[in-house]
Structure 1
C-alpha cells in the first residue's frame, strides 16, 4: 500500500503502517470493540454469561442488574436504580454515549410498562404486514391453522411464488416472538420453504386472517418471588402425512414468565 501524502518518508524500504485503533468497516473492528468493552465492564463487577457472551450480570445487595449488548446499542435493566445510574456514569467516562430513558420501541417490538409488569407487542408490525399483503379488509378467522390439516408435498400440487412465500413466512417467524399462539402454525408452513404450493400459501393467508383478529396481542412479563425454570413439551407422533415424521413443540418459563 502507499503511505498517505501527509507522512514524510525518507526511505521507501522497510516502511510499514502500524494500526493503533480499530476502524469501522474492518472485519476485526466488532471483535476488538467488544473485547475492549467486556474488559472495561468486568472491572465494574459485572460477570459475563457463559451461554450468551453479550449478556453481563451483576448482583448488588440482593438486586440483579442486567446489561445486554446489541451491536452499538446497550440495554440496561434492573431493580437497583442507583446501580443503573452509577453504571451509566461509569460507561460515560470511557465511551461516548447517551441515555434513551425507558425502552419503548426496539426492533419492531413495542414495550409498555404498568404496575402489573412489562408488556411486549408487535401491533404496528402486524398492521404493516397486513397492509403489505392487502389483508386489512380480509375475512376474520378464529384459529391460525386448520385442525387435522393435511399439508405436505404432493406430486400434483400447484406451485406458488417461492420468493413471496419465503418472505411472508420469515416475517411470521419473527412475529412469533410475541405471538406464541401462532408458533405451531408458523412451524408447519416453514417446512415447505423450498417448494411451496398454493395450499401452503393458503395456510399462510389463514395465519394473516387470524392476526387481523388480535393485532395488539401482548406478551406480559411480571415480577414474581422466584426464578424457577419450568419447561413443557409435546409432540404429534408421526403427524406428517408425507414421511410420517413427528412434530414436537416446547415452551419454557423462567421466573413464571414465558421466554421460549
Structure 2
C-alpha cells in the first residue's frame, strides 16, 4: 500500500520516500469516513442526489425512471426501473473503484431475499439460526407465542439481576430482527424498556422470544406486484397499559401498493 506524503512534511530532493504504516488503515475510525467521502463525490459527479433521509442512499431520475443505490461500508445494492442507467453506473463505478458484481440480490446484512411469481420475499432465517446457535438454544423447547398473555412487570423489593451486557446484546439483535418479523415487534418494545437495569424476569421473556422464533423460522415479509400505489395507514393504542408508569403503547403500519413499508 502506498500513501501520499502527509501535508507539511518536507520531501527530500531525490523523492525516494516510502511511508511505513505503523497501523493498518482498514479498521481505523477515520477510514469509513474517508472512503464514504470519496464515494459520495463520485456519485454526485455521475448525477446522483444524496438522500436527506438516509445519507447512504443515492437517487437519480432520468426520463421518468428512477435508479437507487444504497451502500453499507463496502456492500451496495443498485436497483430501479432504468436498466440502462444501472448498467452505466456499474461501469462508471468499476472504472474508479475495484468492484465485483455479485448478480441478483440474495443476501444483504443478514436479510435473505427470494423471488417468485408471487413477488419478493425477505426473511432473516439464517440470522435467527446463528443467534440461536450463539446462545445455545438450537435444541430449545418451542413455544407458540412470543410473550405470556397479560404480562406486566412489577417492581419488587428484592429484584434478581441478570447479565446486563448479554441482555443488551440480545435485545439489540432482536430489534434488528423485527425489521422482517413484525410478530415480535411489541414484545421487543417491552423488553427494550429495561436495557439499563434488566432483571432475571426480563431475561426469561427474551429467552421466550428466542424459543418462539425457533418455532416459526420461515416467516418474513412478501412484496407482491399489485396494480396500484395507494398509501394506507393503520394505528392502534392501549390506554395507560404499562402498570409501572401508566404510559400508553401505540402501534402503526403503513402500506404502499398493498406492501408494508413502515
* TM tier, smaller: 0.7 to 0.9
| Runs of 4+ residues deviating >6 angstroms | none
Residue 182 of structure 1: aligned partner: 184
Change in CA separation of 1:78 and 1:202 when aligned onto 2, cut-off 3 Å: same
SS of residue in 2 equivalent to 1:174: helix
- Which has the larger displacement, 32-41 or 250-259? 32-41
- Which has the larger displacement, 176-185 or 44-53? 44-53
Q: Distance in 2 between matches of 1:33 and 1:255?
A: 36
Alignment of 1:95 onto 2:97: yes
Q: Distance in 1 between matches of 2:181 and 2:86?
A: 31
Structure 2: segments with no counterpart, 5+ residues:
1-5, 15-24
Residue 206 of structure 1: aligned partner: 208
Q: 2:82 aligns with which of 80, 83, 87?
A: 80
Q: Distance in 2 between matches of 1:31 and 1:133?
A: 33
Q: Displacement, 1:142?
A: 1.4
Q: Displacement, 1:115?
A: 2.2
Residue 129 of structure 1: aligned partner: 131
- Which has the larger displacement, 191-200 or 28-37? 28-37
Q: Distance in 2 between matches of 1:154 and 1:259?
A: 40
Q: Distance in 2 between matches of 1:66 and 1:83?
A: 10
Q: Displacement, 1:3?
A: 5.0
Change in CA separation of 1:136 and 1:28 when aligned onto 2, cut-off 3 Å: closer
Q: TM-score, normalised by structure 1?
A: 0.83
Q: Distance in 1 between matches of 2:9 and 2:203?
A: 58
SS of residue in 2 equivalent to 1:181: helix
Q: Distance in 1 between matches of 2:80 and 2:259?
A: 16
> After the TM superposition, which residues 36-185 of structure 1 pair with which residues of structure 2 at under 5 Å, given as runs?
36-185=38-187
Output one character per residue of 1:106-165: Cα deviation in whole Å (capped at 9) or x when no partner.
212111112222211111111222223332232222111122111243323322222222
Q: Distance in 2 between matches of 1:73 and 1:209?
A: 32
Residue 8 of structure 1: aligned partner: 12
Structure 1: segments with no counterpart, 5+ residues:
11-22
Change in CA separation of 1:255 and 1:44 when aligned onto 2, cut-off 3 Å: farther
Residue 21 of structure 2: aligned partner: none
Residue 22 of structure 2: aligned partner: none
- Alignment length (residue pairs): 247
